[in-house]
């Protein structure tokens, strides 16, 4: 077993096509036909609702030309779009730690590690998922785990157009806002560099037993 995670960067890719790819790859990892892989992708603007999402969190003010997907991950509604790094780890947790809470916390730590290399202090909020800078969310996550193999994952707002979040109650949370690395640092960021930092942290946090 390789000591480092396999990385596949899909670039800008249609959401439905990527969702289909995830489901197919998940089956292959379950069968042992494919290695544990972290997929990076950017999507066209879409809203996705988790299996327990409240449809009322998609607001009437949302832009009407954005596709909406009801998917099998946990969590409520979120936005994906250009300038946002989405990570889909499809990995067998039996090789790491058979714990859903450990996995969720580890994904948060990966983003916190990454942000720290840009002198951004990311934190978790008690009782909530994701990564926060002050009272604004910068990293979201929602996963599905079947027979200990993961799907879906996390999203980090890098150069994201935050106005898209005005059309939803992000993650069903009313009282807090959203932010991005560009907003915090005052200039557009290098997406490739940030993917490299995420990869480094992922390899540090996810070590095969």
SS3 5: coil
Nearest partner of 19 among 195, 130, 151, 146, judged by Cα: 151
Catalytic residue among 38, 41, 168, 171: 171
| 171 in active site | yes
Look at the chain and count its residues: 209
CA–CA distance, 200 with 209 (Å, rounded to integer): 18
**What is the enclosing helix (H) or strand (E) of 149?**
strand 149-157
Q: Per the structure block, which two tokens stand in for 54?
A: 């409240």
Per DSSP bridges, beta strands 131-133 and 67-70 are unpaired
Residue bearing tokens 């859903």: 100
Long-range contacts of 146-149 (CB under 8 A, 24+ apart): 146/26, 146/30, 147/30, 148/92, 148/93, 148/94, 148/98, 149/26, 149/29, 149/30, 149/90, 149/91, 149/92, 149/93
Give the active site residues.
Answer: 171
């Amino acid at each position: 077993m390789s000591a480092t995670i396999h990385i596949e960067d899909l670039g800008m890719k249609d959401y439905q096509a990527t969702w289909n790819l995830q489901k197919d790859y998940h089956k292959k990892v379950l069968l042992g036909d494919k290695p544990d892989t972290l997929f990076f992708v950017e999507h066209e603007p879409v809203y996705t609702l988790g299996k327990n999402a409240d449809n009322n969190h998609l607001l009437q003010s949302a832009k009407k030309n954005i596709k909406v997907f009801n998917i099998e991950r946990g969590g409520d509604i979120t936005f994906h779009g250009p300038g946002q790094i989405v990570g889909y780890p499809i990995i067998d947790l039996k090789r790491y730690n058979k714990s859903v809470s450990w996995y969720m916390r580890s994904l948060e730590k990966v983003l916190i590690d990454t942000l720290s290399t840009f002198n951004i202090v990311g934190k978790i909020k008690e009782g909530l998922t994701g990564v926060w800078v002050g009272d604004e969310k910068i990293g979201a996550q929602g996963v599905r785990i079947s027979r200990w193999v993961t799907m879906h994952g996390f999203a980090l707002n890098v150069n994201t157009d935050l106005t898209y979040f005005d059309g939803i109650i992000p993650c069903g949370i009313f009282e807090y806002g959203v932010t991005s690395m560009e907003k915090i640092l005052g200039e557009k960021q290098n997406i490739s560099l940030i993917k490299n930092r995420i990869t480094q942290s992922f390899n540090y946090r996810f070590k095969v037993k």
